Structure 1
């Protein structure tokens, strides 16, 4: 057993190897099981090289040396592109040594003799580079492989190096556990026996069968997806989302989901759309009623561009300035109140909705103006004039958008200067009365013409009375 320590040291050394991963997820693999040593390949004889090496590959009972216990241990690490590198140690006991001795007693029909060389102990330390075809054949269960390597064999009291081509087949029960079957042809250079015929450095086949474990892959969140492939390594998730969670189950991972706690369609970044108007509830001002994107998801029943929730008249079109309601036309003259300078009195649009002053109205105003009586030589009214003045004010109120000129006239008695001043004062007195009785000052002007515009003769009392008058004219702008 003195060589057993060498085996253990070699196995422990392999634990420190620093290449790549055993596969793309797990960095290491360890396997153990039983091995069988078949020495027939060194026996000689046969009809050529192939016949000598492969004529009895499965003569287990006759040629194989097997210990009924765990007899090999292997540790390996992946080095990329389906290659792995490993070191293995094995132990066996040789009680079946095959020789070609056609003249010896006990040979078989082909001339081979199987003898017990004295229960020789067998130890092997081997390094192997293996290529796996598992990815090539796109299988997750069947893993065929080829290998090449070299090693050192302790055979009884002798030891020697070997070149080890081989093949294997692994069946993976799970991602990490499998059944590994392998065979190696361990070619020694200078096969020999000692002078007594005891085997010294035979080439041989070594077969093995055992359990293999892959390990070392890091899965921080425990979701079955290794960190190197996990887009969310610290949060458990789903394989179809590279390890990221989908809390609301809408098929959009939380990291890409604008509403990770509420299911929604992909086109809305995972957010719900309760009313089905194509606007996510989180952006929809009216999430339970289908509406327009331009109005943040709110409806506009009358199509006036104002959302129903802000429209005072949601079923009738109207401007925003009027709260979505149509402008009223109180007087029914076809001019909307907003544009109507006289919203309660009908009038044509050409006069801003106000009634136009007709010639008949102007005649009536001037008829009234002729009978306004002043105290002699003064601008104060005689008592009987107030009824006439009130009538003039009432007429002007009917035309709130019209402006008027109040003109004062006198007869020729007295100086021109005195008459001019008197006419101006009398016109101003009429204007002031009208302003005091509800007519806007901006609508009135006054002027005096003195004795310059008589309408009758100043030679008679009647003519002079006609010339003393007040006239009203329409100011057109």
Structure 2
């Protein structure tokens, strides 16, 4: 049985140290120094080391009955543990005590006395912390060890529950209770409670900036504590990873970049970094506020559109329609007619008075030469209205067949149109149509009436 205890202790210790040795160099260490209390009642064990006391058969029956505690009034326990990751740590603890009470006198509630027995224990524990990194840090553990009472020892299997209360990142208070099950009949199963001051330390600082790698967001580059170990190369108070200009000091508003001209635009984005300007123009100035930078503005002190290089559009004819929108930029017109003059009723009347005087050869569509002057006047009038479109309409009297009159009216209208377009009128502005004898303006029963019905009209297309 004794050899089994020793083998179990050796197995637990070797397993624990293997875990510790295999871990990351940044795992912190923890030392706890304090006092311990040994309590053989309740233990659930009927065989007592002293032979004159008794144990409870309800393990937790008197767990907090301090009358049964053996406490040495001095520092009596020390433990060292190493964090191994994911909430687990391995620790080794040594303790000493003096046993004056071991269980209770049978049939009473009095503590059974012992003859100042010495108590020594060495234990190894693997612990798991449930709330790692918090102020209140509970844990459970399992392990084993060896305990001596007056030079008689035995191996134990231990179950541990504890609580760390951290005052800051390094200092805390630890409470722990271990249930130690003995493997030999001459050592009773018992509880050992400890309370002490805990100190955490250790770790590696690869970049030498005073911040351990485990807490250093930039462990291989020296930095500042304010930035979790990351650097601020230009010293502008903005860490390099968040600084758009890490080598030039700047402002937080511009993500660490400088603004030489103070216009609120970082130099790296400012096309005119030495002259204050506008954000909309990439930091360049616009003196006349026309949206064209002064460097590109041909009229920097007079507002004008970008399409005209910053200069205002001219209005050559002064009709209120800018040349760029004026279809007749050199002839005064109206805004409604895109800067071109509009054909008035008076002009329309004049056109038709001229048109009625156009003479044709009898029964033909050929124009007589004496009509050239009146046609020239008509061309002049039409060209004064370059955006207006007209239709040339031919009419006849009722003499002859209707079909003949229709054909004659169409050919005469077409003849006038062709003359006009061949003498300077845009062909796309003219059309022609014949109405024959269908639209008389006077009676066809009289010579004068028939003369009025034989006519050509030039009407505005609306």
Q: Which residue of 2 aligns with 1:264?
A: 251
Alpha-carbon deviation of 1:290?
A: 1.9
- 8 Å CA contact 1:20–1:77 kept in 2: the answer is no
What is the root-mean-square deviation in Å for CA atoms of aligned residues? 4.3
Asked if the contact 1:279/1:293 (under 8 Å) is kept, the reply is no
Residue 34 in structure 1 maps to residue 40 in structure 2 = no
Map 1:63-74; keep pairs closer than 5 Å: 63-74=68-79
In 2 relative to 1, CA 77–21 (structure 1 residues): closer, same or farther, beyond 3 Å? farther
Which of 97, 102, 107 in structure 1 is aligned with 2:102?
A: 97
Q: How many residues align?
A: 296
User: Where does structure 1 lack aligned partners over 5 or more consecutive residues?
Assistant: 1-9, 103-107, 193-199, 327-331, 333-347, 349-477
Secondary structure of the 1:89 match is strand
1:358-369 pair list within 5 angstroms:
none
Residue aligning to 2:434: none
State the 1:56 CA deviation. Answer: 2.1
Deviation at 1:173, TM superposition (A): 1.3
Relative to structure 1, the CA distance from residue 201 to residue 273 in structure 2 (aligned partners, 3 Å threshold; closer, same or farther) is same
Q: Secondary structure, in 3 states, of the residue corresponding to 2:131?
A: coil
Q: TM-score, normalised by structure 1?
A: 0.51
Deviations 1:276-320 (A, max 9, x none): 7663134432445223666x5212345889742576752247999
Gaps of 5+ in 2: 1-11, 47-52, 317-329, 331-462
Instruction: Find the aligned partners of 1:54 and 1:46 in 2 and give their Cα distance.
Output: 15
1:188 equivalent in structure 2: 182
Contact 1:230 1:244 (C-alpha < 8 Å) held by counterparts = yes
- Correspondence for 2:267 among 278, 281, 298: 281
Residue 189 of structure 2 aligns with which residue?
A: 203
Please report how far the alpha carbon of residue 32 of structure 1 lies from its aligned counterpart in structure 2 after TM superposition: 1.4
Instruction: Specify which of 12, 15, 23 is matched with residue 20 of structure 1.
Output: 23
Q: Deviations over 1:223-256 (max 9, x none)?
A: 77432442344434255x4432457887742344
In structure 2, relative to structure 1, the CA distance for the partners of 1:187 and 1:75 (3 Å cut) is: same
Q: How does 1:139-154 map to 2 (within 5 A)?
A: 140-154=134-148
* Offset at residue 67 of structure 1 (A): 1.2
Q: Within 2, Cα distance between the matches of 1:26 and 1:14?
A: 15
Say which one has the larger Rg. 1
**Alignment of 1:133 onto 2:130:** yes
Counterpart mapping for 1:192-341 below 5 A: 192=185, 200-219=186-205, 225-233=211-219, 234-239=221-226, 241-246=227-232, 252-260=238-246, 262-265=249-252, 268-273=254-259, 279-284=265-270, 285-291=272-278, 297-301=283-287, 307-308=293-294, 313-316=299-302
The whole-number CA distance in structure 2 between the counterparts of 1:325 and 1:263 is: 38
Query: What SS is found at the alignment partner of 1:122?
Result: strand
User: How far, CA to CA, are the matches of 1:184 and 1:175 in structure 2?
Assistant: 26
Distance 2:244 2:194 in 1: 56
Q: Which of 49, 53, 57 is the equivalent residue of 1:49?
A: 57
Distance 2:76 2:215 in 1: 37
After superposition, the Cα gap between the structure-2 partners of 1:189 and 1:299, relative to the gap in structure 1 and judged at 3 Å, is same
Distance 1:224 1:179, change over 3 A: farther
Q: Does 1:163 align with 2:163?
A: no
Specify whether residues 188 and 67 from structure 1 end up closer, same or farther in structure 2 by C-alpha distance, changes over 3 A only: same
